[in-house]
Amino acid sequence: MLQKLYDWVDERVDITPMWRDLADHEVPEHVNPAHHFSAFIYCFGGLTFFITVIQILSGMFLTMYYVPDIVNAYESVKYLQNEVAYGQIVRGMHHWGASVVIVMMFLHTLRVFFTGSYKKPRELNWVVGVMIFGVMLGLGFTGYLLPWDMKAYFATAVGIEIASSVPLIGGMIETFLAGGDVLGAQTLARFFAIHVFFLPAALLALMGIHFILIRRQGISGPL
Ligand code: HEM
């Protein structure tokens, strides 16, 4: 049945070469931990990607209950956490995953740095990586405010304060982030929009470029 369906589609759109290209791609020996245990350092990029997928999926489910306004945000998170079936586990995955993904990304960056993989011809992908790094930190910063409890509020107040100390444009950054003169309704609304629309869209685009470049250039090494 499934085979028939596959053949039907394949006859019309020729899908076999698409997945064959990925499935038949051989992983070089020097990045395969089954050959050299120390090659596990090459897994951090893939692990970062894996946690990122978990973040996107769990985040999509969180938006089913989360209400992004200052009257309801805290209660909606509390309801999700205590009443909704599996709500606690989905929120827990997103909460802890947010830290794990930063750690994995950092380890991946260290691997790329210490194997010298940022050198020619991979300079561009390093630059793309630095952009991804910034987007990930932005996701962490904007997501932290969303539960709208004391910790979220005052941590964000400190964060915006730090950003406002940038020479010359600090005031502009502060107004942009807070959405006005005070940390309030406008801030929560734009942090939500940035957290669930702007930065994830940027992240998907950048990760796409990151992976296309890796496939075109091949993995670096062996040392
Ligand atoms: C969401 C974050 C990221 C994901 C999912 C990701 C994923 C990956 C993957 C799967 C690889 C293949 C090799 C490996 O796994 O080590 C890779 C390679 C690479 N990454 Fe990332 N990466 C991320 C962030 C970064 C950052 C922050 C940097 C640097 C600032 C970076 C720079 C590079 C470079 C230069 C390569 C090519 C390395 C080589 O050919 O040896 N990446 N990335």
Locate the domains of the chain by residue range.
42-217
Contacts (Cβ under 8 Å, ≥6 apart) of 219 = 28, 31, 42
Sign (positive/negative) of CA torsion 102, 136, 163, 156? negative
* Span from the CA of 96 to the centroid of ligand 1 (angstroms): 22
Q: What pLDDT sits at residue 223?
A: 84
Q: Which atom of ligand 1 is nearest to 41's Cα?
A: 16
Decide whether any atom of ligand 1 lies within 6 Å of the 39 Cβ.
Answer: no
Rounded to whole angstroms, how far apart are CA atoms 184 and 70?
Answer: 7
In this prediction the pTM is 0.94
Over residues 191-211, mean pLDDT: 98
Q: What pLDDT sits at residue 26?
A: 87
Over residues 175-180, mean pLDDT: 96
Q: Whose CA is nearest to atom 6 of ligand 1?
A: 45
Mean pLDDT over all residues of the chain?
A: 97
Please identify which residue in the block is written with the tokens 């952009």: 131
- For domain 42-217, give the CATH superfamily: Cytochrome Bc1 Complex; Chain C (1.20.810.10)
Sign (positive/negative) of CA torsion 9, 57, 187, 80? positive
Rounded to whole angstroms, how far apart are CA atoms 204 and 216?
Answer: 18
* Span from the CA of 28 to the centroid of ligand 1 (angstroms): 16
Rounded to whole angstroms, how far apart are CA atoms 204 and 210?
Answer: 10
Over residues 178-191, mean pLDDT: 97
Q: Please determine, for residue 106, whether its predicted confidence score (pLDDT) is greater than 90.
A: yes
